Amino acid sequence: MAIERIQSERGIELPEDYLKILENIGSGEDYCFNEYPDEDPDFEGRCWSFLDEDLLLENIEMKGVGNAPAHHQLELYLKCYQEFSNSSSVSSTNGNIPISRVSDGFVIAEENGDLLYLDPEDSFSVWIFHHDGSDVMKVSNSISDWLSRATIA
């Protein structure tokens, strides 16, 4: 399986709950998730397209920046951000987060250019990388908690 190779190459062990999703997910399967349940409890949320094993390995190329597999594409966005901002961190509702930490995130889904990722340095909590502002937002402590609040589109 490709996911075993990815884990080995990155030196991580992804959470079992995520691996179960990956086992059963169809290419680009969508889950809706409301990251602002207190402000807008009736909103079903944005629909995130999950990456299957083939899509996780898809080569992402950013002209003038480089290439990376889809699961590691945060590295590309953050190279570009760091070059123009001269900053070593990105902003978050949890304070500033080091770029090195965010670039190590494991991308699992996308929605309109934003990336949903697991943070290996925070017990694989679930975060959103907002591509237009290069800021991040923690939305769940775990993928199982995230799934309990999501609906299949």
Give all domains of the chain, ordered by start, each with its CATH number: 2-152 (3.40.1580)
Calculate mean pLDDT across residues 110-138. Answer: 96
Instruction: Give the pLDDT confidence score for residue 24 in this predicted structure.
Output: 84
**What is the spatial distance between Cα 131 and Cα 142, in angstroms, rounded to a whole number?**
22
pTM for this predicted structure: 0.93
**What is the spatial distance between Cα 38 and Cα 5, in angstroms, rounded to a whole number?**
39
The band of 45, judged by pLDDT with boundaries at 50, 70 and 90, is: confident
Q: What percent of the chain has pLDDT over 70?
A: 97
Calculate mean pLDDT across residues 88-115. Answer: 95
The number of beta carbons lying within 10 Å of the beta carbon of residue 93 is 9
- Tell me which of 85 and 120 has the higher pLDDT: 120
Residue 122 per-residue DSSP state = G
